[in-house]
Amino acid sequence: MIYKKQHQIFATVIMVLIISIQISCTKKNQSDLSAESIIPKPVSVTSTGDYFSLKPNTTIYVKGESSELFNIGHYLADRLAPATGFKLNVKTTFNEPGNGSILLTLSGVGGNSREGSYELVITKKQIRLSARTHEGLFYGVQTLRQLFPAAIEMATPQDGPWKIATGTINDYPEYSYRGAMLDVARHFFSVDDVRRFIDFLAYYKMNMLHLHLSDDQGWRIEIKSWTKLTEHGGSTQVGGGKGGFYTQEQYSAIVDYANECYITIVPEIDMPGHTNAALASYPELNCNGKAPDLYTGTEVGFSSLCTKMEITYTFIDDVVREISALTPGPFFHIGGDESHATKVEDYIPFINRVQEIVAKYGKRVVGWDEIALATLKPNSVAQCWASEENALKAVAQGAKILMSPAKKTYIDMQYDKTTPIGLHWAAYIEVDDNYNWDPATYIPGVTKENIIGIEAPMWTETITKLDDIEYMMFPRLPGVAEIGWTPASQRNWDEYKFRLAQHAGFFEEMGINYYKSPRVPW
């Protein structure tokens, strides 16, 4: 009997020790900067083995008189306030601030001239964030957010302490274009939903949001010279719901919010195919002069603008002109994919002419890789989603490649057969499949010098609400962000999956509905 009790006590002690070890292994080390689970992985991290404590009297200083610098300072203060309860002051300085401060300054970063580069120096007494550009400072702020305990992202006051490890981070992006696409045509999403989408991109240092604004199932942006596009063409969606559209004022609000997060909006009007919503709105855009019915299904390739009629190009000119005036970014996406109802001999001159219209309004053409069949302008961008042959044709014409291979980056694809939403025509894409590839070696003959960047498209045939968006984005979006930011030589799935697992805390505190992949040690 005594032996049995001793055995039970011994077993209990062992269990307590095991649990304690597990906790110690998973607990955030607040004094080792090199052990932090930052995504995307920084280029260089050096730890000094101490920590900085954020306190109610911490002041954020911006060096120099700059409203943009001041805005970044307030952005940081606003993100730290809800969870900490601290109302941190943001002040301008021309001198070196004292202890307990956070300093944001535009200056050289160790001779690094890369766009978006920043240096973060954390000591026990001060945090100093330096960058060549405001964009770089903003990226450094995202790193700071990830260095604090995950509870920093809570919307209500939490207990501290709010400590981050000391050391130095030098960092910069691998590619200039790091984006995601949201299809608002198959299913419509509100301005607030898009803002939430932008917040996710910003947190992982992505800088492009491609909005798929038109398709067979809906036209989603107001065109004042062609009002029926939204009145009729925007009135439904996949499955027959009420659809919706953005007024020009609402679209401008999205653009402005994205700009605050150093994200560029890339508007897409898909053509000559994927145009049933437009064709149903205006009979004169059809070769037979008859408007088809609105479409609420999910088939592709059946619609086409009438490429030989002059009114088609008047229509396109008006659309490109109005959207370009609302969009300060350099890109305009013309679609061009799956134009099966358009004869090749009509498709090529159509794309050539549309490129001229886009250039007329000062924008750089982006299109799905099929546009490489036409004669591309040297500064054009072909978005490679399906055809390696088309990518090579684009490169041969001097165009840049935006890498979006469907088998790797389409984050609307199911994770596996059990995933409740999504499609799988390209592939089932688990988290490791999404991460384990290199844009610079994916297509033989397409090198890093040919590639402008990477984008993760989210098509919404089966995605109807924000929870769905989050479930399909997470945890795949952080991996896409790291591919775009971190050199391939520093990326490794076996290491990354543990960093990703630590981000579960951030997902949960941000209220993100994410997929708990069995391939990640959550």
51 has which bridge partners?
165
Is residue 477 within 8 A of residue 411, CB to CB? The reply is: yes
Provide the angle, in degrees to the nearest 10, between the axes of the packed helices 134-147 and 67-84: 10
| 411/464 Cα distance (integer angstroms) | 15
Q: Is 187 helix (H, G, I), strand (E, B) or coil?
A: coil
| 514/192 Cα distance (integer angstroms) | 19
Is residue 33 within 8 A of residue 122, CB to CB? The reply is: yes
Give the HSE-up count for residue 513: Cα atoms under 13 Å, Cβ half-sphere: 10
The two three-digit tokens of residue 300, written as one number: 């592709």
Q: Using CA of residue 493, residue 494, residue 496, residue 501, what is the dihedral sign?
A: positive
Is residue 112 within 8 A of residue 186, CB to CB? The reply is: no
Q: Using CA of residue 208, residue 209, residue 215, residue 221, what is the dihedral sign?
A: negative
| 151/157 Cα distance (integer angstroms) | 9
| 191/245 Cα distance (integer angstroms) | 10
115: annotated active-site residue: no
Task: Look up residue 268 and give its amino acid.
Answer: E
Provide the angle, in degrees to the nearest 10, between the axes of the packed helices 248-260 and 310-326: 50
Task: Kindly provide the b/e burial profile for residues 318-340, where b requires at least 16 CB atoms within 10 angstroms of the residue's own CB.
Answer: ebbebbbebbebebbbbbbbbbe
Q: Which is catalytic among the residues 338, 388, 508, 509? A: 338
Catalytic residues: 338
